[in-house]
């Protein structure tokens, strides 16, 4: 429909979350008309993102180095571990300033409908951390959704036999949404008021 280079960009943009065909066309034509330096900066930012960013070898947070800044920080409590679905949930929880332990990113939640079972998530890595890092408590900070609750119960079944306490964020979070739907104060309270599973 358009010149191949334009069509290629529209196709790529349309694959991004929240961008429909119309928005993709609008963005592509916008980029045709901006200064070349501006367009190159955007292109380079995407290339550099993939080159310089990787996953922390311990917690699977996003980092530029072998270990992320939280895992490297000796002031963090090594006996407390907060399990989240996605790396971006870490920044949401950090903003509450109520958590001083470390994190573990599962990479999603158990969802039979989407065909995601425990073996598709980083459960094995989690169990081995619990066994080797002297962890006392694991907080299931999965989303307040059916999938998040299912995952939290699975975590309790998997980890309690290893001798750790497994707790869940207190209720009061907006049900059915992601963690970042909650404001910092509500999320901070849910963290402090967590309940043992």
Binding-site ranges for Zn ion (CB under 5 A): 56, 58-59, 61, 68, 71
Give me the residues paired with residue 116 across strands: 111
Other beta carbons less than 10 A from residue 89's beta carbon: 23
CB of 71 to Zn ion, least distance (A): 3
Q: Which is nearer to Zn ion, 59 or 106 (CB)?
A: 59
Q: Which is nearer to Zn ion, 78 or 174 (CB)?
A: 78
CA gap 32, 42 in Å, rounded: 13
Q: Which residues contact 185 (CB under 8 A, 6 or more apart)?
A: 96
Paired tokens of 47: 């290339």
CA gap 142, 175 in Å, rounded: 12
CB of 150 to Zn ion, least distance (A): 25
CA gap 49, 85 in Å, rounded: 21
Q: Which is nearer to Zn ion, 56 or 155 (CB)?
A: 56
CB of 70 to Zn ion, least distance (A): 5
CB of 60 to Zn ion, least distance (A): 7
Q: Which is nearer to Zn ion, 25 or 58 (CB)?
A: 58
CB of 66 to Zn ion, least distance (A): 9
CA gap 99, 146 in Å, rounded: 24
The stretches of the chain forming alpha helices (DSSP H) are 4-14, 21-33, 36-52, 69-72, 88-96, 123-132, 146-159, 184-192
Q: Which is nearer to Zn ion, 90 or 152 (CB)?
A: 90
Q: Which is nearer to Zn ion, 24 or 87 (CB)?
A: 87
CB of 178 to Zn ion, least distance (A): 21
């Amino acid at each position: 429909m358009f010149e191949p280079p334009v069509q290629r960009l529209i196709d790529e943009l349309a694959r991004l979350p929240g961008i429909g065909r119309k928005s993709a066309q609008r963005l592509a034509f916008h980029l045709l008309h901006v200064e070349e330096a501006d367009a190159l900066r955007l292109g380079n930012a995407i290339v550099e993102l993939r080159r310089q960013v990787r996953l922390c070898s311990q917690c699977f947070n996003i980092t530029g180095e072998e270990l992320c800044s939280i895992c490297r920080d000796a002031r963090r409590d090594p006996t407390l571990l907060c399990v989240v679905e996605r790396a971006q949930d870490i920044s949401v929880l950090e903003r509450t300033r109520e958590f001083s332990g470390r994190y573990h990113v599962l990479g999603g939640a158990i969802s039979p409908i989407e065909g995601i079972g425990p073996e598709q998530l980083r459960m094995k890595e989690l169990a081995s951390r619990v066994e080797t890092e002297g962890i006392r408590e694991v907080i299931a900070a999965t989303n307040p959704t059916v999938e998040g609750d299912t995952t939290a119960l699975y975590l309790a079944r998997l980890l309690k036999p290893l001798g750790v306490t497994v707790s869940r964020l207190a209720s009061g979070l907006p049900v059915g949404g992601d963690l970042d739907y909650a404001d910092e104060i509500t999320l901070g309270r849910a963290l402090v008021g967590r309940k043992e599973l």
